[in-house]
Structure 1
Amino acid sequence: MTYLGGPGDDRAKGSGDGPQAVAPEIADAVESLADLWSLAAQGAVLRLSLHQLRALRALEVAPGLNLTGLAERLDIGLPTASRLCDRLEAAGLLERALHPHKRREVRLSLTAHGRHVLGDVADRRAQALGVALAGMEPAERDALSRGLRAFLGTRTGRAPLPGDATSGK
């Protein structure tokens, strides 16, 4: 059976570098990067799980979130978020404080130690990534940088992924 394809389908033109042909290579690269990211984080001052790191990062980006806001950002349930915060608070990485105007709301924020741990993880990840990038030719690094900027541009809402709420699929 011959594949006829539709307009804009690179397979129909016989191209080996169309989106569907390149996607598995990129998926492999992302998996390798995730492994590098995780290994670099494990060498940090304090070993944290991926969920714990994501929670700290969410609080770094949006200080003062409440438990519901954190759970939504992490796409986890409230009981799970509460237990996660309990562990982070016990480790001295986050603190809870009553909202100044809403008596029933508790705000979450990083402690100085939490910010230090995140900084250590970021430094270790940057070092590991630097080592990986040093093995590339300058033109390859430049092409990678341009490609990542283009990818990030598509993720700002111009090209939703299949299954995204905004994609209609």
Structure 2
Amino acid sequence: MNTDEARDTAAGPRNGLAEAAWRVEEASLALVEMTLDAVAEDSDLSVTQLRVLLAVDRHGPLNLSALAAHLAVSVSAAGRLVARLDDAGLLIRLLSPHSRREISIDVTAAGRRAIGHLRAARRRRIAATLTRLPPGTRRALAGALTEFTAAARTGEEPGAGHASDQPSTDRTTRRNQ
């Protein structure tokens, strides 16, 4: 048993969970900071606009109500954000194939390029940090984060895959395959 396991066992299951949650939260703050640095370096988008673009890329195409629910904002606020991103050529609003009264929102090729540039800048920052870790630690971290991501998704809708998270190809490439 390593030191962390001994401390978790001695402290009890709740304290061990709290300690693990604290450590993951600390790591997530480092990742958020890397993301915000990448946004500041390589994007004219606000954090809110980026959040909309990423939500549509990750879960879309979406109708306005579904997007508002993903963002936890009002439908009118989501509509204003979509209008700005549509004007910028990053999102497109189309008539929904399901209802003539509903619009479907999706990311444009320019929007995917903007996301790609941002993610590349973020990966460069992450890679620079990973170089300071021994190879075994990097592999263990990548494995643990893969399991964490899978656990986080267990409460999601079936088939709610996240194409934008796949490391081997981008969403545009997968769509064209």
User: Against the structure 1 CA distance between its residues 142 and 100, is the aligned structure 2 distance closer, same or farther, given a 3 Å change threshold?
Assistant: closer
User: Against the structure 1 CA distance between its residues 86 and 73, is the aligned structure 2 distance closer, same or farther, given a 3 Å change threshold?
Assistant: same
Of 38, 41, 62, the match for 1:40: 38
Of 148, 151, 155, the match for 1:151: 148
Aligned to 1:111: 108
For these two proteins, the number of residue pairs brought into alignment is: 148
Quick check: which one's helix share is greater? 2
Q: CA deviation at 1:14?
A: 7.6
Q: For the residues of structure 1 that align with 2:149 and 2:133, how far apart are their CA atoms?
A: 21
- C-alpha offsets along residues 75-98 of structure 1, whole Å, 9 cap, x if unaligned? 211111011112111212112122
**Which deviates further from its counterpart, 75-84 or 59-68?**
59-68
Q: Secondary structure at the match of 2:70?
A: helix
Task: Please identify the structure whose Cα radius of gyration is greater.
Answer: 1
Q: What letter is aligned with 1:87?
A: R
Q: For the residues of structure 2 that align with 1:60 and 1:157, how far apart are their CA atoms?
A: 20
The TM-score with structure 1 as length reference comes to: 0.75
Q: Secondary structure at the match of 1:95?
A: strand
Q: For the residues of structure 2 that align with 1:109 and 1:150, how far apart are their CA atoms?
A: 29
Q: CA deviation at 1:70?
A: 0.8
Q: CA deviation at 1:152?
A: 2.3
Q: CA deviation at 1:146?
A: 2.4
The TM-score with structure 2 as length reference comes to: 0.72
Of 16, 20, 23, the match for 1:22: 20
Q: For the residues of structure 2 that align with 1:129 and 1:104, how far apart are their CA atoms?
A: 43
Q: What letter is aligned with 2:57?
A: E
Q: Secondary structure at the match of 2:54?
A: helix
Aligned to 1:77: 74
Q: CA RMSD in A?
A: 2.5
> How many percent identity over aligned positions?
34
Unaligned runs of 5+ in 2: 1-6, 156-177
- C-alpha offsets along residues 12-67 of structure 1, whole Å, 9 cap, x if unaligned? 4589x9322333232222111110111112222x3222222222122223443111
Does residue 137 in structure 1 map to residue 102 in structure 2?
Answer: no
Unaligned runs of 5+ in 1: 1-8, 159-169
Runs of 4+ deviating beyond 4 Å: 11-15
